């Protein structure tokens, strides 16, 4: 069936570097995408979302890019900090369907 997946299970960066977390999706009908951050022992925390009528959206230190041609989603974190260390999930939704999560990428930030 169609699903959402991540290319890299673990990403290690140095404090101050920019981080890029990637996500591939296969459901061409998906029109809404979300990035969540999940710290150990906590529930997923909303970071940023984007709808399919956009290809870029920026938040505070984060940018989400959507490439519908190749069904690719990325989360860019500028000036990564140790507090950014967590597992990051992308999730997709098509219309009124349920939100489908990928498996997650662990981001490790070294001071």
Partner 1 sequence: EAGVVQSPRYKIIEKKQPVAFWCNPISGHNTLYWYRQNLGQGPELLIRYENEEAVDDSQLPKDRFSAERLKGVDSTLKIQPAELGDSAVYLCASSLVAEETQYFGPGTRLLVL
Interface positions with partner 1 (CB under 8 A): 4, 34, 36, 41-46, 49, 89, 91, 96, 98-99, 101-104
44 vs 73, which CB is nearer to partner 1?
44
Distance CA 15, CA 8 (A): 19
How far, in whole angstroms, is CA 77 from its chain's centroid? Answer: 10
79 vs 99, which CB is nearer to partner 1?
99
54 vs 79, which CB is nearer to partner 1?
54
Which of left, alpha, beta for 26 (phi over 0: left; psi -120 to 50: alpha)?
alpha
Non-local CB neighbours of 107 within 8 Å, separated by 6+ positions: 11, 13, 19, 21, 77, 80, 84, 85, 86, 87, 88
Output the smallest distance, CB 43 to partner 1, in A: 4
Look at the block and give the residue holding tokens 């699903």: 3
19 vs 89, which CB is nearer to partner 1?
89
Output the smallest distance, CB 16 to partner 1, in A: 28
Output the smallest distance, CB 57 to partner 1, in A: 13
Output the smallest distance, CB 111 to partner 1, in A: 25
Q: Could you tell me which residues are beta bridge partners of residue 49? A: 34
């Amino acid at each position: 069936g169609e699903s959402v997946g991540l290319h890299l299970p673990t990403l290690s960066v140095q404090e101050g570097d920019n981080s890029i977390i990637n996500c591939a999706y296969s459901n061409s009908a998906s029109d809404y995408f979300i990035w969540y951050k999940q710290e150990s022992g906590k529930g997923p925390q909303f970071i940023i979302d984007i709808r399919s009528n956009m290809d870029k959206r920026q938040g505070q230190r984060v940018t989400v890019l959507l490439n519908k041609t190749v069904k690719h989603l990325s989360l860019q974190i500028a000036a990564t900090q140790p507090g950014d260390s967590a597992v990051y999930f992308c999730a997709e939704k098509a219309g009124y369907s349920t939100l489908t999560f990928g498996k997650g990428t662990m981001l490790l930030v070294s001071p």
